Amino acid sequence: MLSLLSWKKSKQSLEDSVRQIQQGDTELQNELIQAFKPFIAKTVSSVCKRYIHESDDEFSIGLIAFNEAINQFSEKKGRSLLSFSEILIKRKVIDYIRQQAKYKDTYYNSVEDGDSPFSQDHYSLGNFKQQSDTEARRDEIFHYKKVLEEFGILFSELAELSPKHADARRNAIRAAQLIAADKKMSVALMQKKKLPIKDLQKKLDVSRKTIERNRKYIIAVSLIFLGDYIYLRDYIKAVLEP
């Protein structure tokens, strides 16, 4: 059985291993999961703010999430397996804790005299949910910044790059949606690090000049749709709402 250290020293990259697993190598998949248990525990612990044992429910959630990350991983999305799995593990653990908190809140509210055994945790659970959201959002933005830099775009300049008129912003976002939904255009964007203007122009009733003027913004939004950025997608949804 490979250890995490020996895996890092091996000639086969993680991404090569994942491709092999996705082609049906279940033995390698089990080895990879076993090797990265320390990484899973550390990631889960960063959410729970305590030491995590393999017997903990949260660790099991993280293990399942890591396995999902292996099956869902795609290099076309512009991030490493560990970056992708870290986000997925944190998201799944946070969802699990929220579900537990929701159950406790329901129980607490159902006790008329307020003597629920969970009453002392009620305030801290609310704080935890808010804190976990903040940390997950910060992690998401951190990874998004790194991907943007590969395209020569700074996160700090996005506000300035955003089209000033609402209709122009919506058109740019729809252009990004078209790119994300089209395999040829999305692959071209990720591999060449350039906007596939000719192909995009065929699908949009706008001039080449307009597309080029909003090039960086369209790329930035396309990366959100192509990635796993749940908080950033909420921002895009808000822009699209009438």
Ramachandran quadrant class, 13 (left: phi over 0; alpha: psi -120 to 50; beta: rest): beta
Least confident of 134-143, 168-177, 197-206: 134-143
State how far the Cα of 211 lies from the Cα of 163, in Å rounded to an integer. 11
Quote the number of domains for the chain. Answer: 2
Q: Is residue 194 domain-shared with residue 80, that is, in the same domain?
A: no
Q: Is residue 184 domain-shared with residue 113, that is, in the same domain?
A: no
- The 10 Å Cβ neighbour count of residue 65 is 24
Share of the chain above pLDDT 70, in %: 78
Q: What is the pLDDT of residues 35-64, one digit of tens each?
A: 899 999 999 988 888 888 888 889 999 999
How much is the pLDDT for 78? 60
Q: Which of 150, 185, 216 is the last residue of a domain?
A: 150
State how far the Cα of 41 lies from the Cα of 47, in Å rounded to an integer. 10
**Closest listed residue to residue 94, CA positions, set 124, 52, 143, 129:** 129
Q: Is residue 145 domain-shared with residue 167, that is, in the same domain?
A: no
3-state helix, strand, coil in the chain (%, to 5): 75, 0, 25
Q: Which of 125, 150, 175 is the last residue of a domain?
A: 150
Q: Is residue 141 domain-shared with residue 28, that is, in the same domain?
A: yes
126, pLDDT greater than 60: no
**Dihedral angle sign, alpha carbons of residues 208, 213, 219, 221:** negative
CB burial of residue 191 (10 Å; 0-12, 13-18, 19+): exposed
Q: Which of 150, 166, 198 is the last residue of a domain?
A: 150
How much is the pLDDT for 8? 54
Q: Tokens 């001039």 appear where?
A: 207
Q: Is residue 145 domain-shared with residue 159, that is, in the same domain?
A: no
pLDDT band at 12 (very low <50, low <70, confident <90, very high): low
Question: Comparing 242 with 32, which gets the higher pLDDT?
Answer: 32
How much is the pLDDT for 64? 92
Instruction: Give the DSSP letter of residue 115.
Output: -
Q: Is residue 72 domain-shared with residue 175, that is, in the same domain?
A: no
Q: Is residue 141 domain-shared with residue 160, that is, in the same domain?
A: no
Q: Name the residue range of residue 28's domain.
A: 4-150
112, pLDDT greater than 60: no
118, pLDDT greater than 50: no
